[in-house]
Amino acid sequence: MQIPNIGLLFASLIIGIWLFTLHHALFHHEVNPYTSLPLLIFLNHLYTGLFITAHDSIHGVVCKWPWLNNAIGSFCLMVFAGFDYTYLREEHWRHHANAGLIKDDPDFHSGNPKFAHWFLSFMLNYMSIGQVSRLLMIVCSLLYMGAPIQNAALFMAVGGISSAVCLFYFGTYLPHRPDEGELERPDNFRTLEKGDNRLTSFLKSYNFGCHSEHHANPKIPWWALYDAHCNMSD
């Protein structure tokens, strides 16, 4: 039996579970050495899910109604880090059109393919005064509502930043990094490693490691990428 609007169902689940978990982490959880780390890891994966949902919204595959599709993407990026959906959508389509080309691909490195340098230049492209201001407004509102500052620092700052690192590593650095001695890697994307299965692919940023499959057909939603990978491998 095929579920109608399965993308909308997954988006609703990710957003709903993230909201519930973050509310618990901020307002009902006492930071401690035993349960805080598992909660942080779980929130990290949910933050990643928010961004992946926004990414699917950019490609128009969360649901069949464009207005709702874009509204979901805008919400996910706003609560993820105060990002502007329209700007990220434009930059992401530039990435697809110029993947692996210095200066033309906004997600590619700026001349130094080392991880730390690439990650910094990648993040600076999407940061702005407006983005930081929106993020601070969200954080200050939650602190005003009574969230302890240590909870906000751990579950929002550390959770969000660690999610950004995971997304960059599995969705940009690994699939797009150039070969040794090269600086560019146009239209040539690495995909999952041979030892990966459906579970590990999901844990690595919601199948974002299936990158060749995504660039070959951007209309494939995140939850169908692993099957597309298996079909391409056969």
Check residue 4 and give its pLDDT: 61
**pTM exceeds cut of 0.85:** yes
Over the chain, what is the mean pLDDT? Answer: 92
Q: Give the pLDDT score at 234.
A: 54
How many Cβ atoms sit within 10 Å of the Cβ of residue 33? 6
What is the pLDDT at residue 167?
97
Question: Is 225 inside any structural domain?
Answer: no
| pLDDT-based confidence at residue 179 (cuts at 50, 70, 90) | confident
pLDDT level of residue 10 (50, 70, 90 thresholds): very high
57 inside domain:
yes
pLDDT band at 48 (very low <50, low <70, confident <90, very high): very high
Q: What is the pLDDT of residues 75-88, one digit of tens each?
A: 999 999 999 999 99
Domain count, the chain: 1
Average pLDDT over residues 115-120: 96
Confidence of residue 3 (pLDDT cuts 50, 70, 90): low
pLDDT at 66 over 50: yes
pLDDT at 36 over 90: yes
Read off the pLDDT band of 1 (50, 70, 90). Answer: very low
Q: Assess if residue 194 is contained within a domain.
A: no
Mean pLDDT of 21-43: 97
What distance in Å separates the CA atoms of residue 174 and residue 13, rounded to the nearest whole number?
Answer: 28
State the average pLDDT over residues 38-56.
Answer: 98
Query: What was the pLDDT predicted at 147?
Result: 98
Most distant pair of Cα atoms in the chain: their distance: 55
pLDDT, one tens digit per residue, over 186-207 is: 666 666 666 789 999 999 999 9
The answer to whether position 207 is within a domain reads no
Domain of residue 71, residue span: 12-187
In this prediction, residue 233 carries a pLDDT of 62
| Residue 208: inside a domain | no
Residue 104 falls inside a structural domain: yes
pLDDT tens per residue across span 122-162? 999 999 999 999 999 999 999 999 999 999 999 999 999 99
Is residue 138 included in any domain, yes or no?
yes
Q: Does residue 195 sit within a domain?
A: no
Give the closest residue to 175 by CA, choosing from 215, 230, 117, 228.
215
Residue 23 has pLDDT above 90, yes or no: yes
pLDDT at 187: 63
